[in-house]
Amino acid sequence: MVPNAGKALFQLLTTGTLFILGWLLMLWSLEVSYGLTLLLAVPTAGLLIRLFIFQHDCGHGAFFSSRRANDTVGSVIGLLILTPYYYWRRTHAIHHGSSGDLDRRTFGDIRTLTVREYLALTRWRQFGYRLYRSLPVLLVLGPVYQFLLKHRLPLDIPRSWKREWASILWTDLVILGVIVVAWLTIGVDRLLLVHLPIVLVAAGLGVWLFYVQHQFEDTYWREHPQWDFHRAGLEGSSLYDLPAVLHWFSGNIGFHHIHHLSSRIPNYHLERCFRERPELQGVTRLSLRQSLSCARLKLWDADQGKLVSFRSVEALAQPMA
């Protein structure tokens, strides 16, 4: 849990430099082919995901030992992903304090209904939930709404969150300033043609990472009286067993169960923690291929203690009807 300034600065400088080079290369490629630009957006988006994990560590006070350094770096990186840092930090902290608690499903989570709750809905509301949980909405339309629109004015948070509202307004002002500078230099159209694909690819992949790290068959959900923080961390967060290069791009966030047990462990210590503690190795492990099957899981079945698909619930509901 002890931050290492040398490791943090090395990660920040190398990844930041590669991201800037990727961005400039995409800008240059506009003169060649926009297909090439979109192709280059994929690795550049991977670098943005890695930078976002650094911001994520900053929000937990884990990247640097200095709170000011964490908040400064986190705020700057937040601008790249169009995310108000203090707003994100607070809502994400709520997620960590309530993950797996059926009575505290709130900010920072992918909405998950129980089978009973779903069956009690009208047909139109069931359709709305099905639409929300579909992959095109979760991975495409959802990130567009979340990062481009909702982060500009998230009306679902209390007015009493003064610091968070200030972060939202300052972020919007800086984004407006960047647009003005682009208008005076490279052109707003070129700015959007380069940065929007990066943000949208990074956001879609980031949502998928978050999804499979909590939405797997034998995950953990309990009503509040039975809810336990440590069991939620170990049983409700997967070990996403990715190839080494994808662990690098995702900032080791695949060791998600360790992160939920102690969010003060920075990304550059997670793998070592996993290797040195055998008791942390016997959790749900998902390979890249296995994780694809998680896409069909939509509802929590409290009787079976697992996530299930819409199809299995419909098969159960027919004989009941």
**For the chain, how many residues are written?**
321
* Mean pLDDT on 84-96: 94
Q: Domain limits of the chain? A: 5-111+135-295
pTM of the model: 0.93
**Which ranges of the chain does DSSP label H, i.e. alpha helix?**
5-29, 34-59, 67-80, 85-98, 115-119, 123-133, 135-136, 142-143, 162-184, 188-212, 229-235, 244-249, 256-261, 267-276, 288-291, 310-320
> Which run of H or E residues covers position 281?
none
> pLDDT tens, 280-303?
998 999 999 999 999 999 999 999
Who wins on pLDDT, 315 or 210?
A: 210
Angle at 210 between CA 107 and CA 179, to 5 degrees: 75
Q: What is the pLDDT of residue 156?
A: 85
Residue 286, pLDDT score:
95
140-168 pLDDT, tens digit each: 999 999 999 999 999 888 999 999 999 99
Q: Is the pLDDT of residue 209 over 50?
A: yes
Mean pLDDT, residues 251-259: 96
Distance CA 112, CA 115 (A): 10
Task: Give pLDDT, residue 316.
Answer: 61
pLDDT tens for 14-36 read 999 999 999 999 999 999 999 99
Q: What is the pLDDT of residue 106?
A: 77
pLDDT for 321 beyond 50: no
Percent of the chain surpassing pLDDT 70: 98
Q: Is the pLDDT of residue 317 over 70?
A: no
Q: Label residue 254 exposed, middle or buried (CB < 10 Å: 0-12, 13-18, 19+).
A: buried
Instruction: Yes or no: say if 259 and 253 are a contact pair by the CB < 8 Å rule.
Output: yes
